[in-house]
Structure 1
Amino acid sequence: MRLHPLAFPALIAATGASAAALSTVCTSSYVTDSLPSIVGIEFGSVSAVAVYNYSVAAGNSYPGVSGRNFCNISVAYSHTLKNDSVRARFQSETKPSLANATVKVNVYYYLPAPRQWSSRFLATGGGGFSINSGLSGLEGGLVYNAAVGLTDGGFGSLTTVLTDVLIPANGTMAWDLLVNLAYLSIHEMTEIGTGMATNFYTNTSKVYTYYQGCSEGGREGWSQVQRYGTQYDGAVIGAPAFRQAFQQPNHFWPQIQQTVAGYVPNTCEIQKLVNDTIDACDALDGKKDGVIGRTDLCRLHYNASSSIGSTYSCAASSGSSSGGGMGPVGASGGSGATPAQNGSITAKSVAAWNALIDGPYDSKGRHLYVGFQPGNQGASDVAGSYNSTSSTYYASASGLGGQWIDMFLNDIDSEELSLEGVTADNLRAWILQGYQKYTDTLMTVWPDLEDFQQSGGKVIHYHGEADNSIPTFYEQGIDALGDFYKLFLIPGAGHCSPAADNGPFPQTMIGSIIDWVEHGVAPEKVLNATILQGDLEGTRQDICAFSTRPEWKGNATVQPECVWPDREALAAWYPTLDSIPLSVYGLA
């Protein structure tokens, strides 16, 4: 199944400007005159429409706001690929390309009225295999009076994703469009947007440039600060979908384990194991609230085998989409209509669940990649799909992970992957193939942030501990990066959003990065967050900067203390990955 974002134009916002001032500058001719001159870019059509008294509903990553006036702008541009830097990158290679084509890219902006201009530009990214997240990824700019932009990457429309256009014919890959997704189009959208804003507001000497994105948008964010470090002042990056060669095949490990073991669990079994894990580990942080705040302690002190023999029961379901949201989900297990389910948890049920938690191992017992944290809602990767004809559950491998294997590795326009005869060593071979194919080109980049750091750039990096799409693990030594980089693991949060009731989520992240960059107020120990759902909705609950972890002492209504985990608990975040002969941690 292909995931498509909502189609909305990008935003550059402001409040309080007079209608006369906005109508004077919000014209296609004025915007055209404000476009920057960029080598290799040829601008096409430009449109500009004034919008008044616009309201933004609160989202996970920004609070609500009303009364915004702005200029809604779209700009088309192109570069002939056989002459530009995109094509030059592959001139010495035999990979098929769109060498003789001209790709038109569309970028979209909202420009605020001049009197309220705050000298900010916010670039946004996408999710899945989309290069933009539509309105949901853009309205944060309106809240903070910042210019905001998005791009269609040259795919043809805002709702067209890369996999719709990646394979023109089996055996042929549109490498130029892959380059656009990998890093180029967001860079160009930012370069155009920042330059246009500078020219549009003639009294502007400094435009602070920010980035915000999660999942694929998080990977895109790292691609920007790595490749174009001096272009950005700050970035808010969530659950980055990097290490694609590892990340995408990793989703098939539970299905491979089930195929080999000859047992496929149903959704009710998996939900029972999730619930038992939460019940057992909830209070390990000192507070019983339905949220696992210390997944490291849960991993050390709880084993799902304690659920063996317990019973489960679920009513019939009409079906739902697979989990994982905007991330690179691998399996479609657990979706579709199912009958009523009941039974007892067995050792085979636990083995299927532990495959998700522990991650994949090769035939020699070496660790290939990381698993997911305890308590994640993992049915999309573990639970089988139901066959109504045979009344059985089967292991299913499809979706974005299947597209990665078929399209990106084999240049085949397909997303359904057969698991017949597939073993852990096939998984290892896929990982190596993907690494070798993409390391020096696009989706894998050595994480060099020197230019970004030396130019004063700042990063707020967040990741839900209950993320069931992209696993959470980090390398030792990140504490030494605190002068420009802060990592926050969000208890109970899923993929780019809240998951557990009563779990906090950092809704004002853009405000936090602005405070850090423009006012020198760093989130030294905690990141402000709010509980967005559940009985405690609206309550503030701070999130501790990693490597410290939350611990509640005494009165559970106060903020948690941020404590240093002991050596054993800290080591739970740094698994030894010894199957692949390269530094997995060093790959972005």
Structure 2
Amino acid sequence: MDLSLAQSCVPSTFSPSLFGAEVLSLEANLVTNYSASVAEAFRYVAPAVTLDNVSFCNITIAYTHPGQNDHIVTEAWLPLDWNERFQAIGGGGWVAGRFFLTYGGMQGAIADGYATITTDAGLEDAQEPTPWALNSPGNVNLYNLQNTASVSLNDEAIIGKSLIKSFYGREPKYSYWNGCSNGGRQGLMIAQRYPDLYDGIAAGAPAVHWNELMPFSQWPQQLMNELGEYPYPCELDALSAAALAACDGLDGVVDGAVADQHACLAAFDPFSVVGKEVECAQTNGTRRAVSRAAAVVANATWHGHSAKKYYGGLVPGSDLTGILSIVQTSCNATGCVGVPSMLGGLWLQLFVAKDPAFDIGHLSREEFDGLVSSGRQQYASLVESADPDLRKFRDLGGKIVSFHGLADTVIPPGSTEEYYNAVAGVTPDIRDFFRYFEAPGLAHCFGGKSGQPNNLFQQLRDWVEEGTAPEKTPIKFNVGDNETQNRILCPYPQKAQYLASCGDAAMEKCWSCSGSENPAAAKRGEPRHLELR
């Protein structure tokens, strides 16, 4: 332990200055001999790690922007054994930071020697926005929304670097961002609006088109409400299984994962499954025919909202009924009811309608589409992180790595694909500073058949510090029966191809990246519009 640093872990060491803000309180506490095990799931792009007797200075700062009546808390951990680098950790869902996933990421960061930080954006640990969205019915708290959308991200970087300089006597050599989902959105927002804050950004499964994503996550529920029918999960599971069976081998490998969303949408017709009888756990194991309504809902979830602006829906074959699914129904032996999305339902209710009592369960299509349009008009400049002009970030030498699981059940992978293509349209040299990896079988940020790209953060660091761009990234792929294979992910638009002549799909060397490196070659033209039958 560096005793001089340990002795410096007192409030008087730190005097952060943030223009337009007033510090309300600052606490500094030395944490010694801290041990923990951090799962890969908490780190997104880095492997599992064990902390063993790590010591760090925990600094918690509360501040406000005078006149805005906000109260924001940032928390920094500064390890005594420092690697001279800074890694900020993003949030998830409605949460900006300072919750269990963020703390797992921070544990991983200090295990590797990084100084690290998180912010609650003034929302505390609210898992959903009801406590902070409205000042009163009809009046959105725009300061809170602005803080979580962007402002707190700039604040925490400035505060973090100030704390680092005060504690270690020097600035970090390199600064990084690491986040997934909302944390991925935060990373892209930083690159777009605050391009000088970080040298490298890891932005997994980003909620990039916020004003499209939110209503999309309510779209299956809206359609069920219009139909007046709510399919049993067993019907939706049968449709997912049929889609997987039809599309699994389209990439030349049968492995329980869909690797090409566009090819699968063209190859599989969900209405071909209507009438098929399946065993239904929700009706005590009796057999039930797959209804037309189930096919309509699945088809709509895969194709996206008919008023969409940017992208399609979930990849066919992904889980439509799991805990994070946007197609959830609650059932008993006599029938089912819909379960509104904690994302889209609350967004439309609190931020667009501005009324916690607003009934989202009885909207016409015209009313629903009107809310989508209204949300876009009101909030595009506030919360969107879809600006494709990253030239300032590029010119400052910044690098971005992103990934998106093709079995994501929350955020359509096509949204990241569309954003990457849009950036390429502005900067054709996109591969010089931005690489995106699609992961067949990976669920939302973690889970599913595919392992996370847990070498990608180190590859980002190598790119930033050594100039070595990631041409591929290794993963573990679960093929069943406790058997895993060593595979690769490739930078979009390339795809991993199995070399049959190599003879062993479990070996990384038997996989290579194929296809054009040019994103323009992968553009799909205009988004497909929903067809109901």
Report TM bin, short chain: 0.7 to 0.9
Counterpart-to-counterpart distance in 2, 1:247 and 1:310: 32
* Cα distance change on mapping 1:421 and 1:71 into 2, 3 Å: closer
Q: Indicate whether 1:144 and 2:144 are aligned.
A: no
> How far apart are residue 58 of structure 1 and its match?
2.6
- In the other structure, the counterpart of 1:178 is 145
Secondary structure class of the residue paired with 1:372: coil
Deviation at residue 159 of structure 1 after TM alignment: 4.7
Matched, 1:28 2:11: yes
Letter in 1 for 2:459: S
Matched, 1:270 2:236: yes
Q: Is the partner of 1:229 in helix, strand or coil? A: coil
Corresponding position of 1:505: 452
Residue 353 to residue 442, structure 1, CA distance change in 2 (3 Å): closer
> Which secondary structure state, in structure 1, belongs to the residue aligned with residue 326 of structure 2?
helix
**What's the Cα RMSD here?**
2.9
Partner of 1:395: 338
Matched ranges for 1:356-375 at <5 A:
356-361=301-306, 369-375=311-317
Q: Is the 8 A contact 1:294 1:550 kept in 2?
A: no
In 2, are the aligned partners of 1:312 and 1:343 still within 8 Å (CA)? yes
CA contact (8 A) 2:487 2:506 kept: no
Instruction: Describe how 1:411-490 pairs up with structure 2 within 5 A.
Output: 411-414=354-357, 417-423=359-365, 425-443=366-384, 446-473=387-414, 474-475=417-418, 476=421, 478=424, 480-490=429-439
Q: 1:533 to 1:549 in 2, by over 3 A?
A: closer
Change (3 A) 1:360 1:439: closer
Q: Helix, strand or coil: the match of 2:139?
A: coil
Show the counterpart of 1:76. 61
The Cα shift of 1:344 comes to 2.0
Alignment correspondent of 1:92: none
Give the number of the structure whose residues are more often helix, by fraction.
2
- Residue by residue over 1:60-90, the C-alpha shift from the partner in whole angstroms, topping out at 9 and shown as x without a partner, is 22321332523242332323433xxxxxxxx
2:95 and 2:128 in contact (8 A); partners too: yes
Identity of aligned residues (%): 27
Measure, in 2, the Cα distance between the counterparts of 1:262 and 1:121: 52
CA-to-partner distance for each residue in 1:544-563, whole Å, 9 max, x for gaps?
11101122231223332322
CA shift in 2, pair 1:458/1:535, >3 Å: farther
2:313 maps to amino acid: G
Separation in 1, partners of 2:326, 2:127: 25
Match of 1:517 in 2: 464
Is the 8 Å Cα contact of residues 217 and 343 (structure 2) preserved in structure 1?
no
- After TM superposition, give the deviation of residue 368 of structure 1 in Å: 7.7
| 1:358-404 Cα distance to aligned partner (Å, 9 max, x none) | 11225xxx97852211111122333433267xx22233434221110
Show the 5 A alignment for 1:147-546.
147-155=115-123, 157-159=124-126, 162-202=129-169, 204=170, 206-316=172-282, 340=285, 342-361=287-306, 369-379=311-321, 380-386=325-331, 391-414=334-357, 417-423=359-365, 425-443=366-384, 446-473=387-414, 474-475=417-418, 476=421, 478=424, 480-500=429-449, 503-524=450-471, 526-531=472-477, 534-535=480-481, 539-546=485-492
Q: Give the AA of the match of 2:261.
A: T
CA positional deviation for 1:421: 4.4
Secondary structure at 2:74 match in 1: strand
Query: Following the alignment from structure 1 to structure 2, what is the Cα–Cα distance between the partners of residues 537 and 188?
Result: 45
1:41 corresponds to: 21
Residues 257 and 413 (structure 1), Cα distance of their counterparts in 2 relative to 1, 3 Å cut: closer
2:512 aligned with 1:561: yes
Cα distance in 1 for residues equivalent to 2:384 and 2:286: 41
CA contact (8 A) 2:217 2:341 kept: no
Higher strand proportion (structure 1 or 2): 2
Gaps of 5+ in 2: none
The C-alpha deviation readout for 1:512-535, integer Å capped at 9, x for no partner, is 2111111222102x1222347954
Question: CA shift at 1:239, angstroms?
Answer: 1.4
- C-alpha displacement of 1:536: 5.6
Separation in structure 1 between the aligned mates of residue 429 and residue 482 of structure 2, nearest angstrom: 35
- C-alpha change, 1:134 and 1:346, in structure 2 (3 Å) is same
Residue type of the alignment partner of 2:153: I
Change (3 A) 1:315 1:240: same
CA gap 1:171/1:339 in 2 versus in 1, 3 angstroms = farther
Amino acid at match of 1:529: I
Q: Find the aligned partners of 2:253 and 2:204 in 1 and give their Cα distance.
A: 26
Contact 1:460 1:486 in 2 (8 A): yes
Q: Match for 2:52: what amino acid?
A: G
Distance apart, 1:422 and its partner CA:
1.8
Aligned twin of 1:94: none
Secondary structure at 2:178 match in 1: strand
Deviations 1:410-441 (A, max 9, x none): 22235x74332421x33321221011101233
SS in 2 for 1:418: coil
Alpha carbons 1:498, 1:532 under 8 Å: kept:
no
Q: Aligned residue pairs: how many?
A: 505
- Spell out, residue by residue over 1:215-273, the C-alpha distance to the aligned partner (whole angstroms, 9 max, x if none): 11111111111111011100000111132221111123223333333432110111111
Cα deviation, residue 570, structure 1: 6.8
* Contact 1:36-1:196 at 8 Å conserved across structures: yes
TM-score, structure 1 length as denominator? Answer: 0.79
Aligned to 2:79: 112
Going from structure 1 to structure 2, the CA distance change for 1:561 and 1:377 (only over 3 Å counts) comes to same
CA distance in 2, matches of 1:206, 1:108: 17
Contact 2:195 2:396 in 1 (8 A): yes
Matched letter for residue 434 of structure 1: G
Q: Normalised by the size of structure 2, how large is the TM-score?
A: 0.86
Distance in 2, Cα, partners of 1:291 & 1:299: 14
Maintained 8 Å contact 2:57/2:79? no
